[in-house]
Amino acid sequence: MPEINPTEPSNFIEQIITEDIKQGKNQGKVHTRFPPEPNGYLHIGHAKSICLNFGLAQKFGGKCNLRFDDTNPVKEEQEYIDAIMRDVRWLGFDWEDRLFHASDYFEQLCAWAEKLIQDGKAYVCDLSAEDVRLTRGTLTQPGKESPFRIRSVEENLDLFRRMKAGEFPDGSHTLRAKIDMAAPNLNLRDPVLYRILRATHPRTGDQWCIYPMYDWAHGQSDSIEGITHSICTLEFEDHRPLYDWFVEQLGIHHPQQIEFARLNLSYTVMSKRKLLQLVRDGRVSGWDDPRMPTLSGLRRRGYTPEAIRNFTERIGLAKRASVVDVAFLEHCLREDQNQPAPRRMAVLRPLKVVIENYPEGQVEQMEAINNPEDPSAGMRLLPFSRELYIERDDFREEPPPKFFRLAVGREVRLRYGYIIKCERVIKDATTGEVIELRCTYDPTPLAQITRKVKSTLHWVSAQAAVNAEVRLYDHLFTQEDPEDVPEGEDWTAGLNPNSLEILTGCKLEPILAEAESGYHCQFERQGYFCADLDSKPGRPVFNRSVGLKDEWGRLEKKQGAGG
């Protein structure tokens, strides 16, 4: 990664913090936090926030907490808590001893609620959820004050304590802040602080039957933790006046909230609600389906923490709502993998080649470079034999213009092998499908060949090949913007029916037989692949993480488009 110069702010938040330090705010300290709700798995958008918050702490010599905003037990689960911690660690960040939960502060939050009541700034409201909605007013009209707004401090205190003690049924009462029902900012129209909710909380179990609303818990949690810069996404800009009001009423440490635009990716949905729906409806195999933008999905797909960190750094940071081209994410993976990934031979859609003038039964061990980008990666041996597999795509009966690969009468080079010439084609008698190529080879070692040969193909010895399953992925959605669907349809209408293609009977070079899950390599001329969780010794399963840039593919598409 490029050296970061701490004196040179790289985005507007760093500018603000640099200025704050210069002004001596917070005694020059920087303390941030990453505050997920454990109601789903982390995705690449969260990675942006994680890298930002932990990165800021690193850059300015401060600290970053991990805090679960676990205020809604109805949606939150231990599975998510575990997954989130796993993913943050995997991304490369360490919260050390600073693992916190909003639920750690439930007692304190209650005490503060009582203080608000004492000060006449909060009241218990008996209105139903429906009535609260009806009296909130609209965007253009002020709300109506609740008839319970005028209750005495004593009555409010008594009622609130009885709410907490479990004397009232769910939904029968709320504690509300007494602010301004006519405020143009809807968040200030007597927001609910507590609701009665009998649900088992992943951490506190059945200890509580009232739970604080996020708005009531979040700012105070930051305050308790001594957060100096409370970084969140744009939609909370409207809530800032409310958070400010709370800490002011309470007279406690006032974190500075700074909002930034969340990450959107083309051809991708990024809301946890939608991702959850994809999982629940079985549109994907799970949260870690390699097509998912979740960190667990990207990891399984073959993305590395470095690639993701670099991506989040390079997309920049601003307040403008934007959509990053998913091609840029893919670029970051290629860039990350080009230097380190060992090169391997793999034929995905095999076509048999018989070299008629190559001695039957003979096997030569050809020396192959493991990684042309890294001489220290050394060499390996590749068995060459009379029968081979090449890629079906590398042969055409009627080669279009600019197609440099194999055709009858043409020569190509087999990488680390020999030059072969296609003599004739054998077809299936009934279907007419090409099932075998009969070729001859030039026994001259490649190093001594002086004539120009246009193309180099990858290949695998038929005898030595390892059978494998390879999974190819495409974007989950066919539309750049999944919301851009015909009238009356919802976002699932744009789901790409071809986002997963499973190839069986792929032929890998022998060394790949024992690849362990998580093993990354490049299949030459095709892309970066990694062994999937489902991979077993002797029965490898590979995921295509990202394809290589494909000039011929582009040309072909252009030709197909008649251009």
Partner RNA sequence: UGGGAUGUCGUCCAACGGCAGGACACAUGACUCUGGAUCAUGGUAUCGGGGUUCGAAUCCCUGCAUCCCAGCCA
Per-residue tokens: 558: 């252009």
Binding residue (CB under 7 A) for RNA from 43, 46, 48, 195: 195
By CB under 7 A, residue 204 contacts RNA: no
Q: Which is nearer to RNA, 53 or 289 (CB)?
A: 53
- Terminal C-alpha separation, the chain: 40
| C-alpha span between 191 and 393 (Å, rounded) | 63
By CB under 7 A, residue 18 contacts RNA: no
Which listed residue (59, 75, 203, 262) is catalytic?
A: 262
User: What is the size of the binding site for RNA (CB under 7 A)?
Assistant: 94
Q: Which of residues 448-507 bind RNA (CB under 7 A)?
A: 455-458
Q: Would you give the binding string for RNA spanning residues 233-252, x where CB under 7 A is met?
A: -xxxxxx-------------
262 carries an active-site annotation: yes
Q: What is the DSSP letter of 19?
A: H
Q: Which is nearer to RNA, 339 or 431 (CB)?
A: 339
Q: Which is nearer to RNA, 159 or 213 (CB)?
A: 213
Q: Which of residues 352-391 bind RNA (CB under 7 A)?
A: 371-373
Q: Would you give the binding string for RNA spanning residues 104-143, x where CB under 7 A is met?
A: -----------------------xxx--xx--xxxxx---
228: Cβ contacts below 8 Å, ≥ 6 apart: 20, 25, 26, 29, 30, 31, 32, 62, 255, 256
Q: Which of residues 70-99 bind RNA (CB under 7 A)?
A: 71-72, 74-75
Binding residue (CB under 7 A) for RNA from 215, 222, 411, 509: 215
- Contact by Cβ (8 Å): 32, 51: no
Q: Which of residues 303-322 bind RNA (CB under 7 A)?
A: 314-322
Q: Which is nearer to RNA, 136 or 352 (CB)?
A: 136
Q: How far is the CB of 192 from RNA (least distance, A)?
A: 4
Q: Which of residues 399-438 bind RNA (CB under 7 A)?
A: 402-405, 413, 415-417
C-alpha atoms less than 13 angstroms from C-alpha of 209 in its C-beta half-sphere: 16
C-alpha atoms less than 13 angstroms from C-alpha of 468 in its C-beta half-sphere: 37
Containing 243, the helix (H) or strand (E) segment is helix 240-250
Residues in the chain: 563
Residue 476 corresponds to which amino acid? Answer: L
Per-residue tokens: 300: 């399984």
Given the rule CB under 7 A, which of 106-114, 188-196, 378-386, 508-516 is the region that contacts RNA? 188-196
272 carries an active-site annotation: yes
Residue 166, number of CB atoms within 10 A of its CB: 13
Which listed residue (67, 151, 176, 272) is catalytic?
A: 272
Binding residue (CB under 7 A) for RNA from 80, 160, 211, 441: 211
Residue 351 corresponds to which amino acid? Answer: L
Which listed residue (29, 37, 436, 514) is catalytic?
A: 37
Backbone angles phi, psi at 409, to 5 degrees: 85, -5
Residue 383, number of CB atoms within 10 A of its CB: 17
- Contact by Cβ (8 Å): 241, 191: no
Binding residue (CB under 7 A) for RNA from 258, 377, 446, 493: 446
Q: State the catalytic residues.
A: 37, 262, 272
